[in-house]
A = this chain, B = another copy of it.
């Protein structure tokens, strides 16, 4: 026997079985399908489990059953509520169904995601959550070959990899332009992070502004993810281009907060000279002074639906390939 047995303390299913006077398979049933075991057998087995301190080995179980009971979730970052909210509910819902979620942080960049997906497939996830809807063809093939159910969130596409729960960022940007237009604005500005979804929001905004015959007085690209200071610096940068009344769309609430903060410092009246709309409905949009207008997307709900669809799919049910969740403009003091 090998030196592995140094750690001889590890209790395995056969030990429990012996202690309870049953076959290993019965112990397995007590753990996984207790309804198929008689009450007192189950009781005896549970006592043995407790007494020996048995911790089942899901690695072995997974190899045998070909189900890892693990779902991989890949998001750019969890440092933003944008992604931490859906991840949280996604994890909760799946947890209750007996799945663990393995989180992968891809950063903002194609390469990171590709490598991560490849790496995580190595653990044979039973399902997968991906952020965004544009993935390399290599990845899509990989996922298809692996036969892993996939939910994409936070974006939309006419050709989802598999299932999708998201919304249209360009449409959202357009809605913000409409909102400003309805308030009589004719001069617009937009500050957007360089990631693909922020870019889509900006493009939707700009397109609609043009359709309304509006004038785009300033447009800047910020790093992704962008923060408060990026918003402040950007406003300082474009302050000279502002007309007597400009409507600004920021790609996140952090950016919008930075803009408002800097506007106050520069003596630019919000919303009189500068109307501001953010994105995300983060805590700060609601709790800072003044609270500011933003676009809310229910990330938590997105996570829940994504989890529910994945579960349904794994149960063999048919699931809609695309679910669009609503966004709505939350009107507060800044616009």
Taking Cβ atoms with an 8 Å cutoff, the residues of A that contact B are 4, 7, 9, 53, 55-60, 62-63, 66, 68, 70, 77-79, 81, 84-85, 87-88, 91, 100-103, 105, 118-124, 142, 145-147, 227-229, 232, 254, 257-258, 261-262, 264-265, 283-284, 286-289
Contacts and interface: CB of A to CB of B under 8 A. Distances in A.
23 contacts: A7-B147, A9-B145, A53-B145, A57-B122, A58-B122, A59-B123, A59-B124, A60-B63, A63-B63, A77-B88, A78-B87, A88-B105, A91-B105, A103-B103, A227-B283, A228-B287, A229-B287, A254-B283, A257-B288, A261-B287, A262-B289, A264-B289, A265-B289
A132 B59 CA distance: 28
Nearest to A88: B105
Contacts of A257: 288
Contacts of A53: 142, 145
A70 to B, nearest CB: 8
A123 B55 CA distance: 9
Given A56-B122, A118-B55, A102 B105 contact: no
A121 B62 CA distance: 14
Contacts of A57: 63, 122, 124
Given A120-B100, A146-B55, A283 B229 contact: yes
Contact of A228 (B68, B103, B232, B283): B283
A227 B286 CA distance: 11
Nearest to A146: B55
Given A58-B124, A79-B81, A102-B102, 4 more contacts: A58-B122, A59-B62, A91-B105, A232-B287
A262 B53 CA distance: 53
Contacts of A142: 53, 55
Contacts of A145: 9, 53
Contacts of A77: 84, 88
A228 B102 CA distance: 30
Closest 6 CB pairs of A and B: A228-B287, A78-B78, A103-B103, A79-B84, A58-B122, A229-B287
A56 B91 CA distance: 26
Residue with the highest number of chain B CB atoms closer than 10 Å, among A9, A105, A258, A265: A105
Nearest to A83: B78
A57 B262 CA distance: 53
Nearest to A102: B102
A189 B214 CA distance: 51
A136 to B, nearest CB: 15
Given A63-B60, A228-B284, A229-B286, A119 B100 contact: yes
Contacts of A123: 58-59, 70, 100
A249 B56 CA distance: 46
